Amino acid sequence: MLIPRRDTGFVHPFASEITPQAVYQDRRRLLQLMAGGAAGAAVAAWAARDALGQESGVPRPGKLAALPARRSAVDGAATMEKLTDYKDASTYNNFYEFGTDKADPARNAPTLKTRPWTVEVEGLVKKPGKYGIEDLLKLSAQEERIYRLRCVEGWSMVIPWVGYSLSELIKRVEPQGSAKYVEFVTLADKATMPYVGSRVLDWPYVEGLRLDEAMHPLTLLAFGMYGEVLPNQNGAPVRLVVPWKYGFKSAKSIVKIRFVEREPGTAWNKAAKQEYGFYSNVNPEVDHPRWSQATERRIGEDGLFAKKRKTLMFNGYGAQVGQLYAGMDLKKFY
C-alpha cells in the first residue's frame, strides 16, 4: 500500500481447488426469490441452500467448513449487487504478514494456525475476559451480510460475509464511561507469518475505531464468507469488516480487543501519517496524497481496461453512518 502499484493482473494459484462461484450466485438468487424479496427475513437460507445443493448434485462453493447463517437485515446497499467470485476474493488479498503481493497471502497463509485461538478483551471494560474462538463464534447468531470492501488502492469487491455485529460482544463486556476508542490487535507470529519482522510495517498490525463506530450495527465481527469459515488469507479465524471505511480498517486475525481512552496508533497511520488518517472513511472527495479516490475498479467485473465506477461517499453506506460524523470536517479527519 505504501508503493503505488500498477496492477499486474490476477493470479489464481488454487483455481483448480475451487468450484464455480456461479453455483453459489444462482442459489442465492433463487433463495431471494423464494423469500419473496423480503430482505432480512430470517430465512433458513443456508439450510435451503444445502438442500438445493443435494438435489442438483452441485458441490458446495469451496472446501472449508460450512458456517451457516441467516440473512441479515442490516447490510443494505450492496445486497443486490453481483458478488465477487470466491476465487478472486480469496486469491487477491492484502495481508502483509504474509507478503506484500496480492497473491502472497493465498500462497503463504496456509501455515497460519487458527486453532486453538483466543481473543482477549481488555482495558476499560467492566467484564474483561478471554474468549476461545469456539465460544466467540457462538456468542451471537451468525448472519450473512453482503458488504462492499473498498481498498484505498482503488479496487473493490462485494462479499457475503458471515458474522455478527461487534456491538453484541461490546455490550457483553460493558465498556466503562472512560472508554472512547477500541483498539484491535492482530496476531504477529514470526513462526507462521513470514513477513512479521520485516520493516514494511510495525508489528503487530493494529487498527482502531471510535467506540460509537465500533458499536454501529454495520461493524461486523466476521468468521466466514460465502457460507464457509474464512480462508486464512482473508483473516481467519476472526476479523473485522467495517464497510464504510477503506479496507485496511478491517483488521484480520484479531487476538486482542482493547478499550482505551485515547485514539490508538494504527498500523498505516504509523507507517505513513500524512497518507493514512485514523478515520479512513471512504471519501471520493479526499484524494490520497499520491492518487485520486474518486473511482474504483470492481475486481473480476470491470476488466483491467474497462471504465472504472464512481466511488460512493462512505462506500454507499452514508444513510446508515453519516450521522456518526455530523459536524466533523472530513477533509481534516480523513
Ligand X SMILES: Nc1nc2c(c(=O)[nH]1)N[C@H]1C(S)=C(S)[C@@H](COP(=O)(O)O)O[C@H]1N2
User: Around 149, how many Cα atoms within 13 Å sit in the side-chain half-sphere?
Assistant: 27
What sign has the CA pseudo-torsion 196, 197, 199, 203?
positive
Size of residue set near ligand X by CB under 6 A: 18
The three grid cell numbers given for residue 282, joined into one nine-digit string: 471512504
Please state the φ and ψ torsions of residue 303, each to the nearest 5 degrees.
Answer: 80, 155
What span, in angstroms and rounded, lies between the C-alpha atoms of 91 and 242?
20
Our CB check for Mo ion shows the closer of 173 and 241 to be 241
Q: Judged by CB under 6 A, which of 163, 247, 264, 300 binds ligand X? A: 247
Considering only residues 108, 186, 219, 280, which one is a binding residue for ligand X as defined by CB under 6 A?
A: 186
Q: Does 151 bind Mo ion (CB under 5 A)?
A: yes
Residue 95 in contact with ligand X, rule: CB under 6 A: yes
Binding mask 138-177 for ligand X (x = CB under 6 A): -----------x-x--------------------------
**Residue nearer to Mo ion on the CB measure, 94 or 266:** 94
Query: Residue 45 is inside which H or E element, if any?
Result: helix 45-56
Distance CA 136, CA 132 (A): 6
Decide whether 151 or 242 has the Cβ nearer to Mo ion: 151
Tell me which of 131, 205, 259, 279 binds ligand X, using CB under 6 A.
205
Q: Residue for cell digits 479512513?
A: 280
In three-state form (DSSP H/G/I as H, E/B as E, the rest C), the secondary structure along 56-72 is HCCCCCCCCCECCCEEC
By CB under 6 A, which span of 91-99, 214-222, 304-312, 322-330 interacts with ligand X? 91-99
Q: Site residues (CB under 5 A) for Mo ion?
A: 94, 151, 247-248
Q: Site residues (CB under 6 A) for ligand X?
A: 1, 93-97, 149, 151, 186, 205, 234-235, 247-248, 250-253
